[in-house]
Amino acid sequence: MAETIDLLTAARRLTAAEGVLLLTHRRPDGDTVGSAAALCRGLRRLGKAAWVFPNEDLTPRLAFLLEDLLAPPAAQYDLVAAVDLADIPLLTTSAAQFAKKVDLCLDHHPSNTGYAAELLLYPKAAATGEVIYQLLRLLGVSFDLKIWEALYIAVATDTGCFRFSNTTPLSHRIAAEALEAGLDFHPHNRTFFEKKSKTRFLIEKRMLDAMTFSSDGRIAAAWIERDWLKEIGATDDDLDNLSTLTMTIDGVDCGIILTQEKTSSDYKVSVRTHMPADASRVCREFGGGGHPRAAGCTVSGPGKQAMEKLMAAAQGELARC
Q: What is the CATH number of the domain that holds 234?
A: 3.10.310.30
Q: Which of 118, 168, 108 is nearest to 291 (CA)?
A: 108
Written as one string, the DSSP assignment of 88-154 is GGGS-TTTGGGTT---EEEE--TT----SSEEEE-TTSSSHHHHHHHHHHHHT----HHHHHHHHHH
Using a 10 angstrom Cβ sphere, with 0-12 exposed, 13-18 middle and 19 or more buried, the burial of residue 140 is: exposed
Same domain, 162 and 114: yes
Instruction: Specify the pTM.
Output: 0.89
Same domain, 15 and 92: yes
Contact 256, 246 (CB under 8 A): yes
DSSP SS3 for 204: helix
The range of the structural domain enclosing residue 277 comes to 198-320
Give the end of a domain, one of 192, 211, 232: 192
- CA 115 – CA 299 distance, rounded (Å): 22
Buried b / exposed e over 159-178, threshold 16 CB at 10 Å, is: bbbeebebbbebbeebbeeb
- CA 108 – CA 309 distance, rounded (Å): 28
Same domain, 148 and 177: yes
pLDDT at 232: 92
Same domain, 156 and 234: no
Same domain, 296 and 173: no
Written as one string, the DSSP assignment of 218-261 is -EEEEEE-HHHHHHHT--TGGGTTTHHHHTTSTT--EEEEEEE-
The ranges of the chain with pLDDT < 70 are none
Look up residue 70 and give its DSSP letter.
B
Contact 70, 30 (CB under 8 A): no
Give the end of a domain, one of 157, 192, 227: 192
Query: How many domains, the chain?
Result: 2
- Tell whether the torsion through CA atoms of 199, 204, 205 and 209 is positive or negative: positive
Same domain, 113 and 187: yes
Q: Which amino acid is at 146?
A: K
pLDDT at 240: 84
For 258-287, give the secondary structure using H, E and C: EEECCCCCCEEEEEEECCCCCHHHHHHCCC
pLDDT at 237: 86
pLDDT at 239: 87
Same domain, 49 and 170: yes
Same domain, 250 and 169: no
Same domain, 187 and 72: yes
Give the end of a domain, one of 165, 192, 219: 192
- Distance (Å) of CA 149 to CA 95, 170, 195: 26, 16, 19
Same domain, 257 and 181: no
Same domain, 262 and 138: no
Say which CATH number the domain at 168 has: 3.90.1640.10
